[in-house]
Amino acid sequence: MPHPLKPATVLAQALTPDTPHSAEIIPATHISTTYERDTDNQYRTGLSYGRPHNPSTQHTEQLLAHLEDGSDALLFGSGMAAATAVFQALQPGDHVIAPQVMYWSLRNWLLGMASDWGLIVSFVDISDEQSIEQAAQTDNTKLIWIETPSNPMWEITDIRFVANIAQQCGAKLVVDSTVSTPILTKPLSLGADIVMHSATKYLNGHTDVLAGALVCQQQDGFWQRICDVRSHLGGIISPRDAAMLMRGMRTLHLRVRECCQSALIIAQHFEQHSAIKAVLYPGLVSHPQHILATKQMQGGFGGMLSIRLKNGEDAAIKAAAKVKLWKRATSLGGVESLIEHRASVEGENTPVPLDLLRLSVGVEDVDDLIADLEQALS
């Protein structure tokens, strides 16, 4: 082609390999767990066993690396497997910075198990630039982990700014971009070293695959350690799940665009609702980081938002109980719309306000979704 292909084209065709013998449109799923050596005892295909590598997994990884403008990608059996592999690649005594409000399962792991790996973790307000600067220790900070937009408060972190801090102190910057997806934000182009996705969510988009992904800017020694963690601990995704993830990703651009449009309409509709204290969504002009979001997110502000109810926790739980179309379930990024009283899921030590409901907007008709919320809030 005379010019680089747009993401929509790349996704729709899924980097389909040239297969002249079968002329297949859909890539085959390779389920073999082992591979034969050459007669001189070599593995010239680069494949020896299914735990470190698999052709179906590699194909999906190539597509994701292409989307993120990265040099390499790794798929894992879950988002948590991908995230913890980054921390397991660090050395005992290393200092890491993480957000006070972030993906709850990873926060729990950092609170409860990171010390077992000898890591020192500082939780900071990642939207406060001064807090990040103060937490960065030039002699010991090896990793800064940010999540933008942050779950479930949907605050925006300036990736370029944090990348500069990481560079000054010699740390790696990892961005959890699950909510933004490569359709809206490309953290590697903004200075991040690694981008992480819970691929269970938007990348797959159909609530039927558990998967996680990492994409790197540079295949350096730290990236090789992450590769070794996946290989040694057996965290690779199955070939069938990799193929299903690929199938889901082929409509990623369409689903993200639809979810973004509906989420903005819903946020604007309920911003002045008599039962709602606040709508948290970076696409609203009233959002304190809206200008930053417009610079960092291209083509939309995501399909996630939260609402805080004026009458507190009890009103939030009762509203969630009354919905008919929205499903009361954990997760996000699927074609179906989900609603959740997030504090109930996270427990008594949660930093999430008790009056907050988290909404994952699907691809249903937006008027139907609004009407359902209206009757639940009435």
Hey, which residues are catalytic here? 51, 103, 176, 201
CB 176 within 8 Å of CB 102: yes
CB 178 within 8 Å of CB 46: no
CA 108 to each of CA 65, 81, 115, 348, 351: distance values in angstroms, whole numbers, following the listed order: 29, 14, 12, 12, 12
Strands, DSSP E only, in the chain? Answer: 72-76, 95-99, 120-124, 141-147, 172-176, 194-197, 212-216, 276-280, 304-309, 327-328, 338-341, 356-360
Cα dihedral 13/365/154/99 (nearest 10): -60
Distance between CA atoms of residues 190 and 158, nearest Å: 9
Say how many CA atoms lie within 13 Å of 144 toward its Cβ. 35
Q: Which two tokens stand for residue 29?
A: 């799923």
Distance between CA atoms of residues 96 and 143, nearest Å: 5
Distance between CA atoms of residues 176 and 187, nearest Å: 9
Distance between CA atoms of residues 171 and 142, nearest Å: 4
Distance between CA atoms of residues 28 and 47, nearest Å: 16
Q: State the residue for tokens 């609203």.
A: 284
Q: State the residue for tokens 């950092």.
A: 110
DSSP bridge pairs for 339: 328, 359
Q: Which two tokens stand for residue 260?
A: 């973004």
DSSP at 284:
S
Distance between CA atoms of residues 92 and 110, nearest Å: 14
Pairing assessment for the beta strands 276-280 and 304-309 based on DSSP bridges? antiparallel
State which H helix or E strand residue 56 sits in.
Answer: helix 55-67
Q: Which two tokens stand for residue 10?
A: 């790349």
| Amino acid identity for residue 14 in this structure | A
